[in-house]
Structure 1
Amino acid sequence: MGSLLTTAYSSESFRQQAHALVDLLADHLERAKTGREAVITYQEPDEQLAFWRQDFAQPVNANPLPLFEEMVRRSIHLHHPQFMGHQIAPPLPLAAITGLLTGLLNQGTGVYEMGMTANALERIVMQWLAGRLELGTDAGGLLTSGGTLANLTALLTARAVSAPTDVWGEGNTDRLAIMVSEEAHYCVDRAARIMGLGTDGIITIPVNDRFQMRTELLEPYWQEAKAKGLTVFAVVGSACSTSTGAYDNLTAIADFCETHSLWFHADGAHGGVAALSEKYKPLVRGIERADSIVVDFHKMMMIPALVTAVLYRRDADSYRTFQQKAQYLWADATTKDWFNSGKRTFECTKLMMSAKIYTVLRTYGEEIFTDYVETLYDLARRFARLLSQRPEFELAVEPESNIVCFRYVRTGLDDNELDQLNSHIRKQVLNDGRFYMVQTTLRGRVYLRVSLMNPLTTDEHLESLLNSLIV
């Protein structure tokens, strides 16, 4: 082995580099938590690319610390209490440390021998979450990389179980369709198109004034689909929607699916964890009747991205999604081996995702997840009250989760002018860097949108945000 490889695999070099990195990240965490640095130092894409191209052209440096420092400085800081943008949690430091462990061990979990610990931990974590969602004793599931892949996996299972013919073996010989709220996450639409359903196979149900699926329209839309020769095999309920954080009536969807023997899938990527809170559990009433559920651990459970659960009320259904021979991996492709996760996931060489969740549960207990949900959902409701007391702001809808949509209003401006004004405000906030928030479009109008993901955010931070928006 050459001297360069010997140095690169040196345990002593690893010790020194890791200690230096942890010190750097601990200092960054402290600065971010206390607000002693900007949330984001924004640069236009071409400027950022130019910097890193110039850096890439430099001679190699045996000390990676300056590189790490630059990466931290040029990244958005999720642990800053004035980060209120996208639905990504500030990771628990313990979960990040576990990521260092799993990165070095690098256990691919598709085959048991390559991921003995990870597969066992995944089984335990999935059964724990299935239990908290009250899915029953036959429930189980798997972990995968993100909500997009998770929703696709669940819908592939729904098709395998519910479609009139064996699509996996015989190809798509039927005009299949799903029914979903018009406010559902875009990944559901993407999954349907990947599955070959096409535009006609994505039946979008209008929403009410609270952006919830109008479940009374499920029956007439289903009848209309039948008349067109479409076979609906699944209905997707949002818990909650992405733009506004609104929860669909999952009980009504479950009733409809039960009546017509349809697969009920609940996209609980963001808000499914309300089930862990007695206070907010009513929001997901009916989710226990879903055939499949998706929950993102990297959204409302403080695990570094990407870690997503795909849960099934009948764990046996998960083995019908991908059925392939791979003699070099396992001897029998038909046996339901929970310990060979590659039989049930799109991924084969999958990260040790379960270790991060298991470590947090064993160290802090599930109460930390409950506290997180209740802290942020409570904060969103207080923010909505604060907005209602400020005539210069207009609330889009009373929040059900930790997502709040609102806009700045000014007398004498029409809707188009208000749209332009709010887009301008959002751009100013981005360039200023003290806060981070995004915008969305509701009912054709531009609204400012905050996702309150940081439990260190306070009412005072929100008051300061509103004061900074006045133009």
Structure 2
Amino acid sequence: MNDSLIAAYSSETFRRQAHALVDLLADHLDTAEKAEQPVLPYAEPDEQLAYWEADFQKPANDDPLPLLADIVQRSIHLHNPRFMGHQVAPPLPLAAMTGMLTGLLNNGMAVYEMGMTANALERIVTQWLARKMNFGDNASGVLTSGGTLANLTALLTARAVTAPTDVWEAGHTTRLAIMVSEEAHYCVDRAARIMGLGSEGIIKIPTNDRFQMRTELLENYLEQAKAAGLTVFAVVGSACSTSTGSYDNLVAIANFCQKHKLWFHVDGAHGGAVVLSNKYRSLVQGIERADSVVIDFHKMMMIPALVTAVLYQRDADSYQTFQQKAQYLWADATAKDWFNSGKRAFECTKLMMSVKIYTVLRTYGEEIFTANVETLYGLAQRFANLVRHRPDFELAVEPESNIVCFRYLGGAHMPAELDALNTRLRDRLLKNGRVYIVQTTLRGRVYLRVSLMNPLTTDVQLEELLEQIHQISVNYLPTL
């Protein structure tokens, strides 16, 4: 036997290194949550690459802790309450710890015997969430790796169920199309193109002044599509949109889909979690009538990326998505057996995603998810109020979620000047590293954008953000 392999698999070595890693990460959490370090130690891409290229040339070291500490130090710190950038949650420590367990067990889930526990827990978790959406008794779903893959999976199901021919076997025999808000996440556009719909097959519906789909235009756009020889098979509602966090009118979309016998899909990757909050549930009224919904656990539900639920009103629909024979995996490819998740999910060797969610539910109860949604949505309302009370700032739109778009006015007056000013302010914030926000473009104009993902962020830190932007403008305006 090879001595190096024996040493690498040593349980005692693992015990020692894992304890050291937990201590390192606990110290990181302590300093990050107290905002005692920058959100990110920014380095230019070439500088970062050069650093790790030099590190790669170093001799092997049987103590991985210095390397792991370096990776922590040179990464963005989502647990810092001044992280207000992208829609990625600071994971619950318990969920991250569970990730160590699933990483070591490494059970795939395509076939039951390789993922006995994980498949059973996935069934429980998806049915629990489907009930929270008030789906019927026949509802269930699958877990997959992120919103992009989840939306693609749901739309593939929609095509398989509604297409006039068997697309899986015969390919496209008609020109298919979907209808979606112009503010929808880019992954819906990407999914449609992957499916071969082309640019004409993605019918983008204009939005109103709140960046919500103008559902009164659906009838007209459907008639135009028919006249162009397109067969619309699905409509996608956003809950919520990525740029502004605005919710489409799901009731109106549901009515339209019911009238025309179209598949109703809801991209609830970010905002679908409000089904767990009585306070904010009205934002997704109508979601219970959807044929399919996706919800990311790694956004509003504090699970490490990537974990996304694809939920179906009718569980049987999910078996039509991927209709392949794989004799070495299962004897009967047509059997609707929930315990072989490879029949319904894109992945074969899928991670044990359900274990993280189930562990959190069994430890804290679903109330932990409710508390997070309501804390972050409330924080956004208070931040919007701070912006409203400062004459040197303006909101793009009243926020419906934990996403707030705003811009600094300063002394600029022309639109191009405002765009340049806010772009450079964001760049200065990025290089400074003390706080992390992003920017977006709305109706062709540049706005600063925060996604309040950390429940430990305080009103004081939000006030400091606005003041820091103001001070940067005052101190650097001649150079901006």
Residue 167 of structure 1 pairs with residue 167 of structure 2? yes
Please give the alpha-carbon distance, in whole angstroms, between the structure 1 residues aligned to 2:57 and 2:448. 40
Letter in 2 for 1:257: C
Cα separation, 2, equivalents of 1:279 and 1:322: 38
Counterpart AA for 1:206: P
**Does structure 1 residue 140 correspond to structure 2 residue 140?**
yes
Q: Distance in 2 between matches of 1:84 and 1:263?
A: 35
Q: Aligned AA for 1:136?
A: G
Cα distance in 1, alignment partners of residues 163 and 257 from structure 2: 14
Give the letter aligned to residue 117 of structure 1.
T
What CA distance in whole angstroms lies between the structure 1 residues aligned with 2:294 and 2:138?
17
- Structure 1 match to 2:122: 122
- Could you say what secondary structure the match of 2:405 adopts? strand
How many Å separate the matches in 1 of 2:165 and 2:177? Answer: 14
1:288 aligns to what? 288
In structure 2, what residue type is equivalent to 1:267? Answer: D
Q: Distance in 2 between matches of 1:200 and 1:422?
A: 34
**2:38 aligned partner:** 38
Q: Distance in 2 between matches of 1:453 and 1:88?
A: 7
Shift of 1:411: 3.7
Aligned to 1:437: 437
Q: Which amino acid is the alignment partner of residue 269 of structure 1?
A: A
Question: Residues of 2 paired with 1:192 and 1:46: CA distance?
Answer: 34
Partner in structure 1 of residue 240 of structure 2: 240
Q: 1:384 Cα deviation (Å)? A: 0.5
Alignment of 1:10-409 (within 5 A): 10-409=10-409
State the shift of 1:413 in Å. Answer: 2.8
> Match of 2:279, as an amino acid?
K
SS at match of 1:85: coil
After TM superposition, give the deviation of residue 164 of structure 1 in Å: 1.1
SS in 2 for 1:293: strand
2:83 partner SS: coil
Q: Is the contact between residue 153 and residue 321 of structure 2 (CA under 8 Å) also seen in structure 1?
A: yes
Kindly indicate whether the alpha-carbon contact (under 8 Å) linking 2:206 and 2:213 is maintained by their aligned counterparts in 1. Answer: yes
Name the SS for the 2:232 alignment partner.
strand
**What CA deviation, in whole Å up to 9, does each residue of 1:282-305 have, x standing for no partner?**
000000000000000000000000
Output the CA distance in 2 between the equivalents of 1:171 and 1:278: 44
Q: Name the counterpart of 2:423.
A: 423
Cα distance in 1, alignment partners of residues 7 and 411 from structure 2: 67
Following the alignment from structure 1 to structure 2, what is the Cα–Cα distance between the partners of residues 273 and 69?
A: 34
Deviation sequence 1:215-257 (CA, Å, 0-9, x none): 0000000011001110000000000000000000000000000
TM superposition outliers: structure 1 runs of 4+ over 4 Å: none
Amino acid paired to 2:331: A
* 2: CA distance, partners of 1:305 / 1:324: 28
Q: 1:72, 1:412 → 2: CA distance?
A: 39
Indicate the SS of the match to 2:299.
Answer: helix
Once residues 179 and 186 of structure 1 are traced to their aligned partners in structure 2, the CA distance between those partners, rounded to angstroms, is 13
Give me the whole-angstrom Cα distance separating, in 2, the residues matched to 1:203 and 1:413.
Answer: 35
CA offsets, 1:155-186, max 9 Å, x none? Answer: 00000001111100111111000000000000
Q: Is the 8 A contact 2:437 2:449 kept in 1?
A: yes
CA distance in 1, matches of 2:125, 2:276: 14
Distance in 2 (alpha carbons) for counterparts of 1:156 and 1:412: 48
The offset of 1:58, in angstroms, is 0.3
Q: Deviations over 1:359-405 (max 9, x none)?
A: 00000000000000000000000111110000000100000000000
- Rounded Cα–Cα distance in structure 1 between residues aligned with 2:346 and 2:360: 26
Amino acid corresponding to residue 71 of structure 2 in structure 1: M
In 2: Cα distance, 1:5 partner to 1:220 partner: 66
Change (3 A) 1:279 1:57: same
Residue number in structure 1 paired with 2:461: 461
Distance 1:200 1:34 in 2: 50
Residue 298 of structure 1 aligns with an amino acid whose one-letter code is H
CA positional deviation for 1:412:
4.7
- Identity of matched residues, %: 75
Name stretches of at least 5 consecutive residues in structure 1 with no aligned partner. Answer: none
Per the TM alignment, residue 59 of structure 1 is displaced from its structure 2 partner at its CA by 0.3
Equivalence for 2:478 = none
State the 1:69 CA deviation.
Answer: 0.4
- Cα distance in 2 for partners of 1:5, 1:465 equals 51
2:128 counterpart letter in structure 1: W
TM-score by length of 1: 1.00
CA distance in 2, matches of 1:13, 1:142: 36
- Residues 143 and 308 of structure 2 are in contact (CA less than 8 Å); yes or no, is this contact kept in structure 1? yes
Query: Structure 1 residues 412, 76: CA separation in 2 closer, same or farther (over 3 Å shift)?
Result: closer
- In 1, Cα distance between the equivalents of 2:265 and 2:175? 20
Could you say what secondary structure the match of 1:229 adopts?
coil
Distance 2:102 2:256 in 1: 43
Structure 1's 412 and 299: CA in aligned 2 closer, same or farther, altered over 3 A?
closer
Gaps of 5+ in 2: 474-480
- Shift in CA distance, 412/331, structure 1 to aligned 2, threshold 3 Å: closer
Query: Structure 2: which amino acid aligns with 1:194?
Result: I
Q: Would the aligned equivalents of 2:412 and 2:418 in 1 still touch at CA under 8 Å?
A: no
Give me the whole-angstrom Cα distance separating, in 2, the residues matched to 1:301 and 1:73: 25
Q: Distance in 2 between matches of 1:211 and 1:229?
A: 29
Residue 124 of structure 1: CA displacement? 0.2
TM-score by length of 2: 0.98
Distance 2:438 2:112 in 1: 42
Over the residues paired in the alignment, what is the CA RMSD in angstroms?
A: 0.5
